[in-house]
Amino acid sequence: MGRVQGVSKQWLQISVIWVAVLVAGIIALVSYSDDRLFNAFAAIAGAAIAVVSLEHLVSKTSKNTVRQQVYVSAGTVAILGVMTVIALAR
């Protein structure tokens, strides 16, 4: 039961970060139209990884740190990749 609860908490954290990336990406997409947009996307991607690292730095357990970083990175790249295609299409 503890393992299932830990996995659920892990996915909740990952999902919250993905939602934050999506919201920040949409804000950047409507706010910027030049190179600043892609700088904002880079900052958002870096911040997503930093949040995972900081969360594990202050938590008592450091299990699955790399796994969470991989999932957050992959989701962030996918989200920002779609937004980049949208930005280039307009």
Cα(58)–Cα(20) distance, integer angstroms: 20
Whether 54 shows a pLDDT value over 80: the answer reads yes
Confidence (pTM): 0.85
Task: Read off the pLDDT band of 3 (50, 70, 90).
Answer: low
Which position has the token pair 């740190």?
Answer: 65
Query: Containing domain of residue 65, as a range?
Result: 2-89
Report the alpha-carbon distance of residue 80 to residue 20 in Å, rounded. Answer: 12
Instruction: Provide the token pair at 78.
Output: 């996918």
How many structural domains is the chain composed of?
Answer: 1
From residue 87, how far is each of 3, 20, 45, 54, 67 by CA, in Å?
41, 19, 16, 30, 30
pLDDT of 34 over the 60 cut: yes
Structure tokens at 62: 């450091």
